[in-house]
Amino acid sequence: MWRVLILLTVVGCSKSGGSPQRGPMGPVEVAVYTVKTEKIALKTELPGRTAAALTSEVRPQITGILKARKFEEGAKVKAGQVLYEIDPAQYRAAYEGAAAEVAMAKSKLEGAKLKDERYQNLVKIEGVSKQEADDARLGHSQAEANLAQKQAALEAARINLGYTQITAPISGTISKSLVTPGALVTAGQPAPLATILSLDPIYVDVTESSEQRLRLRAQVGSGGLLAGSTAVKLLLPDGSTYPQPGTLEFAEVAVDEATGTVTLRAKFPNPDGTLLPGMYVRAELDEAVDQNAILVPQQGVSHDPRGNATALVVGNDGKAELRTIVADRAIGDRWLVESGLKPGDQVIVEGVNKAFPGTPVHATPAGSAAGSGSGK
C-alpha cells in the first residue's frame, strides 16, 4: 500500500510542474577544415644498404715468395701503385735467358737470309741446283719463324717479370693485408692478398615493393601524377640526415622472387668517407608530384572496425555526415586522401567526439577563436 502512495505522490508532483522538462538540444559546436587541392611531392622512405662503387680483390698473377708490402693498411691507394713485391730472381733470370735466345735467333736469321740471297743468284747461272735454292729459301723462312717464337717467349718472360710488382688495379681505400712478407703466393689463388674499395662516390641500394612501383607508374602514365625528380635524401643509422644529396641512377630490371621487391640504386658523393659499405640507411625519394592533392589533418580521420578510413563532414543540411575515404599515406601531420572527399568539403577536426552522423552542428573554421575552444 505504501509503495502505491509514494508512486502517486511522485506522479502528482511531476504533473504539477515541480520538475521542468528539458527541451531539444541545440547544434554541436565543431571546428572544420575546408578541403582544398595543393601541389605536393610524394616522397617515400625505403630501407637500403651502402655499397662500394668499385671493388677489386688484389691477387698474384705468378707464383713466388712475397718479398715486401709497399702500402699502409687502410690507406688510400692509386691505380698502378705498387702494393706487393714478389722475389724477382727467377723471373729476371728467365727474362735474360729469353733475351739471349732472341739474340741467337736473330743471328741465325741473318745467316739464313744471306744464304738464301746468295743461292737465288747462283741458281740463275746454274751454280746450284734449284733444290738447293729452295732449301735455302725454306731455311730463311724457318729462321724468321724461330725468331718470332723467341720474341714471343721474351715478351712472356717480360710480363712475368713485371708481375713481380703487384700493383693496384683501381684507386680507392685498401683493406688490411691478408699475407705477410715471406709467404708463398700462387697464381690464381682463391684468397686475395687485400681488397680495394672505391668509396667516392658510393652507391646506396634500396628495395621497393613491386606492387607499389607498378601502382605509381600506372598513375604517372595515366596523367594523374607527374614523374618525380631523381634527387635522393639519405637518413643515417643515428637518425641524422646525410648532408650530401644523391641521385637515383637506375632500377633493377627484375623482381626478387623471394621478397617481391625491386632494387633501386642511388649514387652519393662521399668525399669524407662518412659512408662505409654495408651500412643500413634509409633513402627518401621524390617518386612523383601530385598537382591536385587533397590533404586532411590527421585528427579529422578515424577508422571503422573494418579498418576503413572515415571522416565526418558537414552536410548540406548542416548535419554531420560520415564519409568513407581512401587515405593510405601520411605526409607530415596530414593524410593524403585519394578518394571520398572533394574541394569545398568541410571536415570536422575538433569536436569529433561530440558529433555523430545526423547530429546538427555549428561549424567554425579550425584555428579560429571560436573553433579552438569547441574541441575542449
Express as a percent the part of the chain with pLDDT over 90.
Answer: 38
Q: What is the CATH number of domain 66-87+164-191?
A: 2.40.50.100
Q: What is the mean pLDDT of residues 200-205?
A: 91
| Pairing of the two strands 82-86 and 165-167 | antiparallel
Residues 28-40+293-374, CATH architecture: Beta Barrel (2.40)
Domain range summary for the chain, segments of one domain joined by +: 28-40+293-374, 42-53+201-289, 66-87+164-191, 88-163
Comparing C-alpha atoms, which of 213, 329, 219, 216 is closest to residue 262? 213
pTM for this structure?
A: 0.64
Comparing C-alpha atoms, which of 300, 238, 244 is closest to residue 268? 244
88-163: CATH class: mainly alpha
Q: What is the mean pLDDT of residues 25-34?
A: 83
In 3-state terms the chain splits into helix, strand, coil percentages (rounded to 5) of: 30, 40, 35
C-alpha cell at 233: 635524401
Residue bearing the bigger pLDDT, 255 or 109: 109
Comparing C-alpha atoms, which of 303, 322, 325, 317 is closest to residue 361? 317
Within the chain, where are the H helices? 2-15, 89-124, 130-162, 210-222, 369-374
Q: What is the mean pLDDT of residues 55-76?
A: 94
Q: Indicate if the pLDDT at residue 251 is higher than 60.
A: yes
The pLDDT of residue 17 = 44
Q: What is the DSSP string of 156-168?
A: HHHHHHHTTEEE-
The pLDDT of residue 29 = 87
CB atoms within 10 A of CB 222: 8
pLDDT 10s digits, 82-129 = 999 999 999 999 999 999 999 999 999 999 899 888 888 888 888 888
CA distance 272 to 376: 53
Look up residue 73 and give its DSSP letter: T
Q: What is the DSSP string of 357-369?
A: TT-BEEEEETTSH
Comparing C-alpha atoms, which of 278, 270, 199, 284 is closest to residue 234? 284
Q: Indicate if the pLDDT at residue 195 is higher than 90.
A: yes
Superfamily in which the 42-53+201-289 domain is placed by CATH: Efflux pump adaptor protein, beta barrel domain (2.40.30.170)
Q: Indicate if the pLDDT at residue 259 is higher than 90.
A: no
Q: Indicate if the pLDDT at residue 157 is higher than 90.
A: yes
Least confident of 74-83, 87-96, 160-169, 253-262: 253-262
C-alpha cell at 315: 552536410
C-alpha cell at 331: 605526409
Three-point CA angle 65, 67, 69, nearest 5°: 125
Q: What is the mean pLDDT of residues 338-352?
A: 87
pLDDT 10s digits, 281-325 = 998 887 667 777 888 898 888 888 888 888 888 888 888 888 888
Mean pLDDT score across all residues of the chain: 82
The pLDDT of residue 43 = 75
Amino acid type, 10: V
Q: Which residues contact 190 (CB under 8 A, 6 or more apart)?
A: none
CA distance 240 to 279: 14
- Identify whether the C-beta of residue 183 lies closer than 8 Å to the C-beta of residue 65: yes
